Structures are given as structure tokens and as C-alpha cells.
């Protein structure tokens, strides 16, 4: 009897040990989690077309969902041809809008789920643009999601955010944001990091500061905490040339429908004040505005009911054309666009 008990204990120990080793390996390979990290800029200018006019900037923000299309993460896995087809459509949509700068979220650099395609380089090549800056937000040896069957796992993950530009980029800094305290530590080992990406883009001899944002989607307390940290980073007054854009995963302040969405019934914005921190600033203007019912809307792309994506500009810019381009459901988010002109100097 004692021998049987010892054997069962040995087997159980081996199983537990194997699980621990497996978790340690799968969650390893993470990126440098330093609170602030300076990263290189990318230069493909040898093959690029000439930059556009410095008098007006066409700027766009788009969560491209790593080229999977409008379906949710659990709808995969997807073929390489499916990913490439969607990336081509995204690149062609950007090209047709005659833009100068795009800020992208959910871009894969070397991920199993998107067949190892460096999507930043692929889109830059499709556009013929010469400059880029990327930051990693999610890097693991193996991400076990969706949980079952294992053949559907995301697997190796290296993903993040990018700014692509016709104009030279001189700075690329990643500011790490906190993960949700409500989630267990083992879950956060595999969970993506949310970050603020700050770049400086040289336009007509002047450096334009731009922040590319992707805030927490599922934990409103953590999202509001991240937003507060972002306002700390912005300081009391932003430069007049500041541009702030991205996927904030929050509703405009005055929208009344804040829960009970058919596609995500568990999402509740009733106590969320994320966007108030930005809307109430006098040194930033949200160029698309807001309405109730909310217009424009950006999510979900195939049948949008709410606005999660924003584009703010400092007071040195005068918005021209602004809105949500009609590009179709190429991601689960629709992009937001603004054509900005420099404000004339005060007399």
C-alpha cells in the first residue's frame, strides 16, 4: 500500500512539475518590460516615394487586428493566404486615402497566428513609404489561447503597435502601462501589455510629437488607471503640434447607451470616465466630435454601434476633412481619419 501511495505521489509530482516547466517555457521569451524604453526607428527610404506636402497632414489611426479580418480571435486559425489578402486590402485602403501618417494597433511582427509575417514591413512595402517605428506589446514563446483544442492556440507571439510615415521619424519610445490587478498573476504572464508609443515625425523642418495608444479593453478600472498615467505623461499643456490617436476602448463622455451591446453583452461603460480626461482638456481637440446616438462609430466594423477610436490634435492644427472612412469590415475596428492644416500664427 505504501509503495502504491509513493508511486501516486511520484506521478503527481511529475505531472505538477511538467505543468510548471511548461508554463515557465510558454510564458518566457517576453520583451524587455522596462517602464520606459527607447527603440530604433525603421528606414526603408531607399525604395520610398517622395514625401507629401508639409502644409497638410493626412493622419489615420486603425486597429488592424493583425490582418485576421472582422471575425473575433476565436474564429481562427487563419491561413497565410487569408492574412495576406486582408493585409493587401488594408494597405490598398490606406493608399487610396492619400495619407501621410498612420498609427496602427495590433500589428504582428513574428507570430504563429499570422504565419510569421512582419506586417509593418509588409504594409510599408505595399504603400511605398520610407519610415516606420514599432513597439512590442506582446511577446511569449506560446500563448495558449483559444484554450481548446490546442491546435487553435495562438502559439509564438510577437505583436505590437506601429507608426508608418512618408516623413522621417526621429524618436520612438515605449511607455509601459500596468496590467489589470483583477487578473491572477499566472494569467498576466500570458496577457498583452498596453503601452503608449511616442514618436517625433519631421514635417517641413519641424518635429511633430505623436502618441499612438491602445488602452485596456476588458477591465474598466485598469483602463481609467492607464488613462490617468497618460495624462501625467502629457503634462499640464501639450505642444501645439501634438497629435494623440489610437484605440482607447472607451466611449465618448456624453453617449447614453453604455451597456447591453449585442456583440459584447458583458462590456459595461456606465462607470467609465476614461475619455473625460482628454475631452475636458483645453489644449487638445477631438477632431471627430461626438453625438448621441454616437456618430461616428468604429466598432464592430461589420455593424458598428459605438465609438472606441479617437484622434486628438493640439491647438496648432486646424481640422479639415475628418471622419470614419468607408473601407468596409477589413478588421473588427474601422479607422478614424483627419486632414490637419497648421493654424496661422496668432497676430
pLDDT in tens, 322-334: 999 999 999 999 9
- On whether the pTM is more than 0.85, the answer is yes
**Tens digits of per-residue pLDDT, 289-315?**
887 767 799 999 999 999 999 999 999
Domain layout of the chain by residue ranges: 1-30, 34-342
pLDDT tens by residue, 14-50: 333 333 444 454 556 777 789 999 999 999 886 555 5
pLDDT in tens, 278-287: 999 999 999 9
80 vs 76, higher pLDDT: 80
> Measured between alpha carbons, how far is residue 284 from residues 7, 54, 347 in Å?
67, 21, 21
CATH T-level assignment (fold) for domain 34-342: Deoxyribonuclease I; Chain A (3.60.10)
- pLDDT of 260 > 80? The answer is yes
d(CA 289, CA 306): 13
* Strands laid side by side in the 284-286 sheet: 36-38, 169-176, 195-203, 206-214, 243-247, 309-314, 284-286
For the ranges 16-25, 167-176, 178-187, 255-264, the lowest mean pLDDT is seen at 16-25
Amino acid at each position: 500500500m505504501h509503495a502504491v501511495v509513493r508511486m501516486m505521489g511520484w506521478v503527481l509530482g511529475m505531472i505538477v512539475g511538467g505543468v510548471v516547466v511548461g508554463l515557465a517555457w510558454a510564458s518566457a521569451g517576453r520583451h524587455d518590460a522596462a517602464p520606459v524604453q527607447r527603440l530604433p526607428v525603421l528606414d526603408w527610404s531607399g525604395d520610398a516615394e517622395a514625401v507629401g506636402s508639409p502644409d497638410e497632414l493626412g493622419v489615420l489611426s486603425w486597429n488592424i487586428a493583425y490582418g485576421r479580418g472582422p471575425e473575433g480571435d476565436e474564429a481562427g486559425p487563419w491561413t497565410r493566404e487569408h492574412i495576406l489578402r486582408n493585409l493587401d486590402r488594408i494597405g490598398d485602403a490606406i493608399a487610396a486615402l492619400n495619407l501621410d501618417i498612420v498609427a496602427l494597433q495590433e500589428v504582428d511582427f513574428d507570430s504563429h497566428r499570422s504565419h510569421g509575417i512582419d506586417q509593418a514591413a509588409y504594409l510599408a512595402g505595399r504603400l511605398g513609404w520610407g519610415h516606420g517605428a514599432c513597439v512590442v506589446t506582446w511577446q511569449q514563446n506560446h500563448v495558449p489561447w483559444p484554450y481548446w483544442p490546442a491546435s487553435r492556440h495562438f502559439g509564438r507571439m510577437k505583436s505590437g503597435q506601429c507608426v508608418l510615415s512618408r516623413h522621417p521619424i526621429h524618436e520612438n519610445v515605449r511607455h509601459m502601462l500596468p496590467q489589470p490587478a483583477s487578473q491572477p498573476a499566472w494569467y498576466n504572464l500570458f496577457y498583452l501589455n498596453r503601452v503608449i508609443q511616442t514618436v517625433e515625425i519631421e514635417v517641413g523642418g519641424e518635429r511633430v510629437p505623436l502618441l499612438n495608444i491602445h488602452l485596456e479593453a476588458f477591465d474598466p478600472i485598469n483602463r481609467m488607471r492607464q488613462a490617468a498615467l497618460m495624462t501625467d505623461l502629457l503634462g499640464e499643456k501639450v505642444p501645439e503640434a501634438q497629435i494623440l490617436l489610437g484605440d482607447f476602448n472607451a466611449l465618448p463622455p456624453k453617449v447614453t447607451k453604455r451597456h447591453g451591446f449585442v456583440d459584447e453583452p458583458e462590456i459595461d461603460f456606465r462607470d467609465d470616465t476614461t475619455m473625460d480626461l482628454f475631452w475636458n482638456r483645453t489644449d487638445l481637440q477631438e477632431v471627430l466630435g461626438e453625438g448621441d446616438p454616437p456618430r461616428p462609430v468604429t466598432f464592430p466594423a461589420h455593424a458598428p454601434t459605438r465609438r472606441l477610436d479617437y484622434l486628438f490634435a493640439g491647438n496648432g492644427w486646424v481640422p479639415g476633412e475628418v471622419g470614419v472612412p468607408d473601407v468596409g469590415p477589413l478588421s473588427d475596428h474601422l479607422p478614424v481619419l483627419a486632414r490637419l492644416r497648421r493654424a496661422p500664427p496668432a497676430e
